[in-house]
Structure 1
Amino acid sequence: MNIFIPLLLGVVLGYILRSRGKRPNLEKPTSLALLLMIFFLGVKTGEVNVNGLWLLGTSILFAIFTAGGSLLLALGVRG
């Protein structure tokens, strides 16, 4: 679904309501929309199949190489 169509409709509706002086209370619908978006993001994230042990090992190795490279660069600049 194109995201710009609802966005533009909301801008137009907000402009119309602003010029009439009426300001609807959008706190509850906004909270509901955000909660639904977070829920569906979690559902979509849960569908992803990830090998956690491989990811953990790769992350630790990357952190070691990053710290080691930074240390070597700092020693090289200093010395």
Structure 2
Amino acid sequence: MNVFIPLVIGVLLGYILRRGEKKPNLETPVSVALLAMIFFLGVKTGEVQVNGLWLLGVSTLFAVATIAGSLLFALGVRT
């Protein structure tokens, strides 16, 4: 689904409602929509299958390389 169509409709609706005397309370619908988006993001994330041991190894290697690179850069800048 195209994301821009609902975005433009929402902007236009907000512009129209801004001119009215009584502003609607949108706190509850926005909170419900946000929680639904977070829920469905979690469902989609849970569907992904990963090799945990390989991911742990790569993440550890990346962390060590990042720390080592930062230390070497700091030593190079200091002198």
TM-score class, shorter-chain normalisation, is 0.7 to 0.9
Deviates more, 1:66-75 or 1:31-40: 66-75
Once the two structures are superposed, residues 14-64 of structure 1 have per-residue CA deviations (whole angstroms, 9 ceiling, x without a partner) of: 121222222100011000000000000000000111111111011112222
SS, match of residue 40 in structure 2: helix
In structure 2, how many angstroms separate the alpha carbons of the residues matched to 1:47 and 1:72?
A: 40
TM-score normalised per structure 1: 0.81
Larger radius of gyration: 1
In structure 1, how many angstroms separate the alpha carbons of the residues matched to 2:78 and 2:14?
A: 59
Deviates more, 1:31-40 or 1:63-72: 63-72
TM-score normalised per structure 2: 0.81
CA drift of 1:2 comes to: 1.1
CA change 1:52–1:24 in 2 (3 A) is same
Name stretches of at least 5 consecutive residues in structure 2 with no aligned partner: none
In structure 1, how many angstroms separate the alpha carbons of the residues matched to 2:2 and 2:74?
A: 49
Residue identity matched to 2:63: A
The alignment-based identity, stated in percent, is 73
- Partner residue, 1:62: 62
